Chains A and B, each alone.
Chain A
Amino acid sequence: MSVLPVLRLPDPVLKRAGIPVGEITADVMQLCADLVETMRASPACVGLAAPQVGVSLRIFCVDVTGHGKARSCHGPVVLVDPEVVAAGTAVSGREGCMSVPDLTGDVARATELVIRGRTPEGVDRVLQVDAFEARAFQHELDHLDGLLFLDRVTSGRLFPRRVYR
């Protein structure tokens, strides 16, 4: 396993839609493991999508364990070729992204979500998520469509990220 570099804007891979994975090969399993390891390498990171590490494939991982805003929590989840089955009402919240340094913006996300995909082992999985976990899944799903939170800012305003000093 290895920690991969996380791409940032204006890298064009971030704006490219991911290709469906289909058959899960040894390379795909390796990528899934690397995504999780890369996510864990950044303490604040709760999710990472394959395009963020330069691979245009429809894979992401999410882990909201221990996050203060989480209600549902499925622990570390890796989904291959995920798709939304059902989405509830959207609520606005401030978001940032590892691939978009220094900016945050308000993005409306469904607070309840049913999502389907396959595990790296090829097992079908359907997850019902809410609150922060739902937001994280939708943020990562967007990465698979070449969308960043910047594409979804509702208020038309961008804010500088907090400056620590």
Chain B
Amino acid sequence: MPLSAVLAVGADRPGIVAAVTGALAAAGANLDDTSMTILHGHFAIAMVVAAPGGLDVAAVLAPVAERLALTVDVRPIAAGTPAAPPGSRWSLAVYGADRPGLVASVTAVVADAGANVIDLTTRVVGGPDRPVYAMQLELAVPSEVDAGALGDRLRAAAAGLGVDCTLTAVDPDVL
């Protein structure tokens, strides 16, 4: 079945996931990879949907979107698109006093090195008077990229931003 990338976001309330995925299931579509989370009172759904050829996924979701006041975007995924980029996996933690541009500065270093962000979560914690910004990233580092040098550049960038940064090789134990 052809794949589509589906985004849906709206003010949080009980039943969003049930309604969105229920409409898709009823239409004969099947969920592939998904990521769904609450972001400061808004619920964000990002998912890949396998739908029977010819099924208009946007039309299937339109009634749910209207009822729950969700913004929905649907776009096709080209056949043969790899599920994830190649490379070794690294975990990157960055945290410190909040300031504009932290994510942009850190990910610019990652992008310039030719590495890929494959997962990123950020949270603002602490009180409004002293907000702390915490980022957790998972990176795919292609074999031709020097991870040690990437770590050096990230630490230098973090020092310039006044935040802490740790890059750790993710070495899963397959048991």
Contact = CB atoms under 8 A, between A and B. Distances in A.
B175 A163 contact: no
A158 B14 CA distance: 24
Given A159-B119, A160-B84, A98 B174 contact: yes
B84 A165 contact: no
Contact of A94 (B85, B118, B171): B171
Most buried by A among B87, B118, B119, B174: B174
A93 interface: yes
Given A160-B83, A163-B82, A45 B174 contact: yes
B84 A95 contact: no
A93 to B, nearest CB: 7
A163 B85 contact: yes
A136 B175 contact: yes
Given A104-B172, A139-B175, A164 B86 contact: yes
B159 interface: no
Contact of B86 (A46, A47, A139, A163): A163
Nearest to A140: B175
A74 B61 CA distance: 57
A94 B170 contact: yes
Nearest to A94: B172
Given A159-B89, A159-B138, A162-B88, A98 B175 contact: yes
A162 B175 contact: no
Interface in B132-175: 138, 140, 170-175
B174 A96 contact: yes
Nearest to B83: A160
Nearest to A132: B173
A163 B86 CA distance: 5
Contact of A161 (B85, B119, B172): B172
Contacts of B140: 163
A117 B84 CA distance: 42
B138 A69 contact: no
Contact of A96 (B82, B83, B88, B173): B173
Interface string A20-63: 00000000000000000000000011110000000000000000
A95 B175 contact: yes
Given A94-B170, A165-B86, A135 B175 contact: yes
A160 B86 CA distance: 11
B173 A135 contact: yes
Most buried by A among B86, B138, B172: B172
Interface in A139-155: 139-140, 149
B119 A157 contact: yes
Contacts of A135: 173, 175
8 contacts: A44-B174, A46-B173, A94-B173, A96-B172, A97-B174, A104-B170, A163-B86, A163-B140
